[in-house]
Structure 1
C-alpha cells in the first residue's frame, strides 16, 4: 500500500477575515522581498497590483521559496497551475483563497503502479518514425507516456498506438496547409500531449521540427514571440504551432517574418485533416530536428541533427545506462531542451520504457513533486541540471517526506550545467535517509552539437571529485592534485568517459592534442555529431575542422574521465537557461543616463549552490538617488524581458570603471575581477594604469603557455627526426646483416639509443618472467610506439605476429620480413587454418611469439576485447602465455595523432600462465586469466569482454 504523506491542514484563522488574509500575505511577501533585495524593499510600495517579477524581483527560483513560506504560514497546499501562472500579488492571493477553500487539493491515496511486460528495443529502426511504427506494429496498446500535473494527479496517457494515430491525423492537417518534406515547422507548446503528437506529425510529413520554449505565463506570449523572431527567421519556419492563447498575437509576427505563412493550434490542424496520403518515409540522413542553442540572440545557431544522429546518441546513452524496457523514467525537464527531449523522451521511445513527465513549472513550484513521482512510479532513471538538485536540497522540508522511498533509482543524470561537488554532497546526505544511494548520482556532459550526451560517468560508480591545485590550473593550465594540507583546493566533478563510439580530445591553442591533466579546449567527434548550423556557414566553419567539433568548453582528462573547467565564451547559465551578455548589454545601454558602450554583464558562479548569479555593471554620471533608482528599475525590467529573469545585482558605476580592450571591446572577465575584489566604484586611478596592471598580471601565464607551445613543437620536430633517422639506420643494417640474431641485436641497440636521445625513459620490469625457449607474449596495444618499445627491450629473437593488411609499403615489408615477422589474415579463432598451423609450427621450434590479442588499437583509452586466436595457438602448441603491460604509449603518441607528447613509459612482464587444455572452455579460461592480469595493471578502463 502506498505510504501516506503528511497532509497539510486546511484551516487558518486568517481565512475568516479577507482583510486579515490580505494583510498577512502582504507582510509575508514584504519580509521575503526585504530578505531577497534589501535596497529595493526600502523603496517599495507593495500592493495587490505589484508584479512578482518586474516589481518585486521574484524570479522562478525565488518563487519556489516564497510558495514554500506561504504554505507553511497558512497551512495550505497551493494549486500548482494557479501559483505558476501568478503574475501579481492579487493572483497569489486568489490562489491562497482557493487553497483555503479546499480547492487546492491534497495528495490522493495512491496505489502501486503495475510493471509492464518486457519488450525489445527498436533496434531495426533507422529513423524516429520507424521507431514509433516498430512499437505500434508489436504492442500498440503499450503505455508510452503519462502526463502528470504533479506527483499525485495524472492528466492524460499516451500509448504507442494513440501517439501514432493522433500524429498521423495532425500530419494530414499539416499537408492540408501545404507543409511538406524539408519544411521547417516551429513548435512552441508547453509539456502536453499536444507537443508529443505534433512533434511526430511534423516528422510524418517529412518536415523538420524546430522546438522553441513557451512563455512561463500566457500573458507574456507577445513579448516572448518577439524575442523568438530571430530563431523563426533563421529557420525559415513556414508554420508555428502554438497554444490557442497565442494564436492572435502570434499572427502579428507574420508581418515581420517573410517565410512564416501560418500559425495554428493542434486542435485546428486535427480538425482540418483530410483523407490525403502521407509522403514517403524519411531516410536516416534526413534532418529530424533543428535545435537552437542561442535563444533570441542576433546570430541564432540551429544545430542540424539527422535521424541517424539522434538514434546513435540514444543507443550510446542506453548502452552506458544499460537501459531496457524494464526501466521507468520520471522527468520534469522541458521538452524544448535536449536533455528532456532526446535524453528522456526519445530514449524511452526507443527502449520501450514508460515515461512519466510533468511540466518544469510543477517542479519549480513544488520540487518535492519530482521525488514523490519517482517514489510513486518506482522510477529507475531520471535526470536534472545541477540547480534542480540544489533546489531540492535547499527548499524541501524533510519533515514532509514521511514514507518517501527513492531506492528504486538506478541512475540519475546530473548535467546541462556545471556540476557542483557541494550540491552532490548535500543532496546525497539529505536524501540518504529516503533510500537515495550515492552510486545512483551520475554526473554527465553533453551539448546540443552532439544531440545531447557525450560523456557519462560509469554506471554505479557514483560521483568522482578531483581536488586540484587552484594556482597550478589558473597559471599553468595543469590540473595537479592538491596537497593534503591545501586549504583552498579547487574541486571539480568528473563528467565521465566518452559514450561508446564517440571520442573526446583536449587540444592546446595551436590545435595539438595534449596529455592527461593538461587543460585545453575540448573537441569531439562521433556518430551523434551535427553536420553544422542551419543557414550559418560562418559558425559552422568555426565549429568543425579536420573532422573534429569544437565544444566551446575548456577541460582536462584524467584516467579516462573528462573534467570541465569552464566556458570559453562568457555564456551565463542560470536555472538551466543560457543567458548571453551582449544582448543584455545592448538593451541596458539604451536607458537614458547610461553611458553607451560601457555596460558589462557577467555571471558569478556560486560555488555553494552551483548556480550563476547575473550581475550588471553600468557606467553613469547620474548622482541623484531618484534618477539612479529609475535606472535600476528599468534595468531589471529590460533584463527580465530579454531572458525571463531579473538580474541579481545592478551596479551603477562612475565613468571609466568598466575595462575595455584597445579596440573598445568590453572586458567582462576584468570587470568580474573588479567586482570580486569589491573595487567597483572605488577610485582606480587612470584607465590606462588599470589596463596596464591587468595586462602585466597576465604576462606571466601567457609567457608560460607560449613557451610551452613552442617547446612542444620543437620537441615534435626533434622526435620525428630521431625516429626517422633511427629507422633508416636500422633498415640498412637489417637488410645487410646475414643472421637473424645480428639483425635483432642491431635493431635493439638502435631502438634504445633513439629513446635515450629523445630523453624517453622506460621503466622495465619482469623480463626474468619470460621463460627460456618457446613462449607466447601477449601485450595490450594502444599505439604504434608499442612495437618500438618492445623491439628495444625484449630479449632474444622475438617473432611478432601481424595482420597481412598491415603490409603497406615497400620500405616496411622487407624490413619486417627480415626480422622474422609472421603475417596472418586475422588474429582470431576462426582465422586461416594455414596461418595458425604455420605459427604453431614456429612456436614448437622454440620461437618466442609476440602478439597483441586486441588486434588493433583506437584513440579511446581502455582495454578492448581480446580475440581468441592467440590463446588457441598457445593451447595447441602448449605454450606458456606471458602477460605484458605497456603504459604511457597512448599518451605519448595517440592513434590518429602525429604530435608526440612527453609522458612516462613503462614495460612490465608478469608471470607466465600455462594452458590447461585445447578445448574451447580451456581456451576461453586462458584468455580470461591473461586479460584479467593485463587489465589489473594497465591503468585503463575495461572496454569489452572476450569475443
Structure 2
C-alpha cells in the first residue's frame, strides 16, 4: 500500500516500515567537521520504537487525547518521541529544552500550563532533569520518560487506538511577538494534506535524500524537514542549528558528500553562506547534485538569491534549485510554493506605488523594489482581502492573505474568542478562510508576500515594510551587516521612526557610533522619504527574536518605550528627546 492512501500519519509510518524495512530513514551528524554519522534509524526501527514509547505512555496513565510535552536536545530521539505520541493517539507538544536562558524556561512553562500536559518525554540525558524542572514549576510530579531506553516488551502490550483523519496529532506552538505562545491544533488530515501540497511543488520519493539543521520543534523543521521525507520514504540526515552556524561551508560541502538533493532553510542561511565562505573554499565545492532548496519562514530576498547564484553558480548551483515558498503554522506549513526545476519569479515594482497598495511592474528610474514570488496561487484556497471591507481585491492590489483548505488547522488550543476572529472567516459568500495577518498581492497568478499587517509602517499615508528598511540599514556599513535590526514607528510623537540595530562595540568610540547613526539616517531619508529617524545601537543578541528567528518588532517597541533596551549609543531626534525627558 502506498503512503498516499494512508488516512493518518501512523498509517504512513507503518506502510514505510513494511515497504522499506531496514533501509535508513534518519541519520544524525553531531559534528559537521568530520561529517561522521553518529546515530541512525531504519524505517522498521521507527515503527518498533514508536510502539514502545506508546506502550510506555499508556502504562504510565496517559490516555488518548492527552497532551505530551516533548523536550529533547538535538538528535533523533525527538522523532521517536513524536511518533510514539501519534501511535498512542495522544497529542505531541514540542518545546525547547528549558535550560540556559530564562526566556526559554518561561516559554516552556507557559506551554505546559496552556496545553495542560499530562506526561513528558525526553532522551536519556534530559529526562531526569526535565522531570525535576517540571516538579519545580508545577508543584506536582509529572512522569517523564527517556525514549530509546524503555523496555521493548512495552510494544507488545500496546493496543492501538482508533485513529481517524480528524484525530488531533500536534499542538504547534507559535512564538508570537509579545503575547503568550498559542498552540495551533494540527490533525492527521492536516498533516497528510500538507504532505501532498509539498509534493506537488517538489516531486520526491524513496530515492530522495535531504540534509538539514532546522530545529525540529518548529513547523518548517518538523513538517518540511522530517515528516515530509518520512512521507516520501526518503532519507533525512540531520544536524543541529549550532553546527550550521559554526560551519556554513560544511553544510554546502556535505550536500555533495552525502549525495543530497533536497534541503530546507530560511533566507538568512543563504546570506550567511555568501558572507562567510571564501572564494577559495567556494571553488572547492560541487553543488551540481543539489536539486531543491525550499526557501521560506522569512521574507525571501531577491538580492540574496542573486548573490548566492553569483557565488556558487560556477560550482554547479542552478538558480532553479531555489524553491521560494510561503507558509505558516496555522496552515500546517506550506500554503504556496514555486514548482521545482523552475527559476524563481522576480518582479521589479514601483516602490512608491507599492507603498500605496498598488503592484506596478517597472524597469525605469530609482525607487524600485524587487519582489520574489512565492508560487502559483490556487484560487480555491487563497484570497487577497481588503482588511476594512473584507471583500476580495482584484489582482495587483495589496491586501491581507486569507487561506483555506484541508491543511488549515482547527484553531488555537483553548482560544475560542481568537478563533472566532481569525478562523472560518467568509469572503464573497465563501467560508472556511483563515486570516493570516500577512499582506500580499496576486500578479499574473503568482503570490507575492509584502509584509505583516501589524508591522507595516504607515508614514505620511504610505505603507512601508520594516524588513526593507532593516535591510537598507545593514547595507550601510560592513560593521552592521551581521547584526539584527528592528525598525519601529511610535504612537508619539506621531510618525516617529526608530531604528534599533545590533553592532559589536569592540574598537568603537563615540564618534564612530555618531557617524554610523548619521549614515543610517541619511540612507533611510534618501531611499524611503521618511522623517529623520532616531537610531539606537545595542549589543549582539539584544534585538529580540522569536524562537524561529523572526524579529519581535512589537516587543522591541515596548522595550524602547519602557527605556529597557540598554543601548550602547542613541541618536534621538529633538522631538523624541524632549518626550523622553518630560
Fold conserved (TM > 0.5)?
yes
Partner secondary structure for residue 333 of structure 1: coil
How far is the alpha carbon of 1:542 from its aligned partner? 2.0
User: 1:229, 1:296 within 8 Å by CA — same for their partners in 2?
Assistant: no
- 1:287-320 Cα offsets, whole Å, 9 max, x none, are 1111011269543211111101111110111022
Counterpart selection for 1:253 from 130, 134, 147: 134
Q: Contact (CA 8 Å) 1:184, 1:239: kept in 2 or not?
A: yes
Contact 1:418 1:610 in 2 (8 A): no
Larger radius of gyration: 1
The answer to which structure has the higher strand fraction is 2
TM-score, structure 2 as length reference: 0.78
Distance of 2:38 and 2:327 partners within structure 1 = 31
Instruction: Find the partner of 2:402 among 516, 519, 523.
Output: 523
What is the Cα deviation at residue 366 of structure 1? 0.4
Alignment deviations for residues 759-798 of structure 1 (CA, whole Å, 9 cap, x no partner): xxxxxxxxxxxxxxxxxxxxxxxxxxxxxxxxxxxxxxxx
SS of the counterpart of 2:392? coil
Once residues 317 and 534 of structure 1 are traced to their aligned partners in structure 2, the CA distance between those partners, rounded to angstroms, is 25
1:174 aligns with 2:57: yes
Paired residue for 1:605? Answer: 470
1:447 aligns with 2:312: no
- The 1:260–1:642 alpha-carbon spacing in structure 2 relative to 1, beyond 3 Å, is farther
* Matching residue of 2:532: none
Tell me which residue corresponds to 1:548.
Answer: 433
Partner of 2:353, secondary structure, is helix
Alpha-carbon displacement from aligned partner over 1:18-41 (angstroms, at most 9, x marks no partner) = xxxxxxxxxxxxxxxxxxxxxxxx
- 1:222-266 deviation line (CA, Å, top 9, x unaligned): 763233211111111112323434633652333543787233332
1:416 corresponds to 2:297: yes
8 Å Cα contact 1:209-1:290 kept in structure 2: yes
Against the structure 1 CA distance between its residues 434 and 137, is the aligned structure 2 distance closer, same or farther, given a 3 Å change threshold? same
> Aligned equivalents of 1:365 and 1:322: distance in 2?
31
| 1:525-674 paired onto structure 2 within 5 Å | 525-544=404-423, 545-546=425-426, 547-570=432-455, 605-607=470-472, 612-614=484-486
Any idea what SS the aligned residue of 1:304 has? strand
Checking the alignment, whether the CA contact within 8 Å between 1:208 and 1:289 is kept in structure 2 is: yes
Pick one of 21, 30, 46 that aligns with 1:163: 46
Identify which of structures 1 and 2 has the higher relative contact order when contacts are C-alpha pairs closer than 8 Å and 6+ apart: 2
- Measured after TM superposition, the shift of residue 667 of structure 1 is 10
Superposed, which structure 2 residues align to 1:668-747 within 5 Å? 680-683=572-575
Out of 187, 211, 214, the residue aligned to residue 333 of structure 1 is 214
State how far apart, in whole Å, the 2-side matches of 1:387 and 1:322 are.
25
1:358: how far off?
1.4
Q: Distance in 1 between matches of 2:249 and 2:576?
A: 48
Q: Is the 8 A contact 1:145 1:157 kept in 2?
A: yes
Residue 232 of structure 1 pairs with residue 112 of structure 2: yes
Report which of the two has the higher share of helix.
Answer: 1
- What corresponds to 2:66 in structure 1? 183
Equivalent-residue separation in structure 2 for 1:438 and 1:550 (angstroms): 32
Q: 1:611 to 1:679 in 2, by over 3 A?
A: closer
In the TM superposition, 1:206-245 aligns within 5 A as: 206-214=89-97, 220=100, 224-243=104-123, 244-245=125-126
Q: Following TM superposition, by how much is the alpha carbon of 1:369 offset from its aligned partner in structure 2, in angstroms?
A: 2.0
Q: Distance in 2 between matches of 1:304 and 1:251?
A: 28
Mapping 1:853-864, distance limit 5 Å: none
CA deviation after TM superposition for structure 1 residue 398, in Å:
3.3
Contact 1:502–1:527 at 8 Å: present in 2 too?
Answer: no
Instruction: State the secondary structure of the residue aligned to 2:184.
Output: strand
Tell me if the contact between 2:51 and 2:154 (Cα under 8 Å) persists in the aligned partners.
no
Pick the aligned partner of 1:198 from 76, 81, 92.
81
Is this contact kept in 2: 1:333–1:384, CA < 8 A?
A: yes
1:376 deviation in Å?
1.3
Instruction: Using the TM superposition, give the Cα deviation of residue 361 of structure 1 relative to its aligned residue in structure 2, in angstroms.
Output: 1.4
| 1:274–1:493 distance in 2 versus 1, CA, 3 Å | closer
Q: How far apart, in 1, do the equivalents of 2:202 and 2:404 lie?
A: 21
Compared with structure 1, are the counterparts of its residues 349 and 504 closer, same or farther at alpha carbon in structure 2 (3 Å cutoff)?
farther
What is the distance in 2 between the residues matched to 1:679 and 1:641? 20
CA distance in 2, matches of 1:548, 1:636: 42
- 1:338: how far off? 1.1
Is 1:332–1:359's contact at 8 Å kept on the other side of the alignment?
Answer: yes
Distance 1:321 1:424 in 2: 19
Answer whether contact 1:166 1:197 (CA < 8 A) is retained. Answer: yes
Whether the 8 Å contact between 1:293 and 1:302 is mirrored in structure 2 is: yes
| Structure 1 residues 495 and 247: CA distance shift in structure 2, 3 A | same
Q: Distance in 1 between matches of 2:456 and 2:354?
A: 21
Aligned with 1:605: secondary structure? helix
CA 1:642 to 1:509, structure 2 compared with 1: closer, same or farther past 3 Å? closer
Unaligned runs of 5+ in 1: 1-119, 573-601, 620-624, 626-634, 651-657, 660-664, 669-674, 689-947
- In structure 1, the partner of 2:28 is 147
Counterpart CA distance in 2 for 1:291 and 1:266 is 21
1:514 maps to 393
Distance of aligned partners of 1:272 and 1:239 in 2 relative to their CA distance in 1, 3 Å threshold: farther
Deviation at 1:639, TM superposition (A): 5.3
Q: Deviations over 1:395-451 (max 9, x none)?
A: 112322454211112221110001111111101110001100111111110011111
| Structure 2 Cα separation of the partners of residues 646 and 283 of structure 1 | 34
Q: Is residue 2:353 matched to residue 1:472?
A: yes
Q: Describe the SS at the equivalent of 1:498.
A: coil
Q: 1:427 to 1:228 in 2, by over 3 A?
A: same
Q: After TM superposition, give the deviation of residue 465 of structure 1 in Å.
A: 1.5
- Taking structure 1 as reference, are residues 638 and 378 closer, same or farther at Cα in structure 2, changes over 3 Å only? closer
Deviation at 1:507, TM superposition (A): 3.2
* 1:569 counterpart SS class: helix
Count of equivalent residues: 500
After TM superposition, give the deviation of residue 140 of structure 1 in Å: 1.2
TM superposition shift of 1:687: 6.0
Contact 2:175–2:181 under 8 Å retained in 1:
yes
> What is the CA distance between 1:194 and its match in structure 2?
0.8
Cα distance in structure 1, aligned partners of 2:116 and 2:542: 27
CA offset at residue 525 of structure 1?
0.7
| Contact 2:72/2:126, CA 8 A, preserved across alignment | no
Aligned to 2:174: 293
Structure-2 separation of matches of 1:646 and 1:136: 35
> After superposition, what is the alpha-carbon deviation per residue over 1:557-608, rounded to whole angstroms, capped at 9, x for unaligned?
1011111111112499xxxxxxxxxxxxxxxxxxxxxxxxxxxxx9762155
Alpha-carbon distance between aligned partners in 2 of 1:645 and 1:128, rounded to the nearest angstrom: 25
Instruction: Sort the Cα spacing of 1:131 and 1:643 in 2 relative to 1 into closer, same or farther, 3 A.
Output: closer
Once superposed, what is the RMSD of the aligned Cα atoms?
3.6
Residue 163 of structure 2 corresponds to 282
**Residues 251 and 263 of structure 1 are in contact (CA less than 8 Å); yes or no, is this contact kept in structure 2?**
no
Partner of 1:429: 310
- Per the TM alignment, residue 274 of structure 1 is displaced from its structure 2 partner at its CA by 7.4
TM-score where L is the length of structure 1:
0.49
Q: Distance in 2 between matches of 1:325 and 1:274?
A: 27
Mark the CA change 1:121 to 1:611 in structure 2 (over 3 Å): closer, same or farther: farther
Instruction: Supply the distance in 2 between the matched residues of 1:203 and 1:355 (Cα, whole angstroms).
Output: 20
Partner Cα distance (2:374, 2:253) in 1: 27
Distance 1:644 1:467, change over 3 A: closer
User: Distance between the aligned counterparts of 1:645 and 1:284, measured in 2?
Assistant: 28
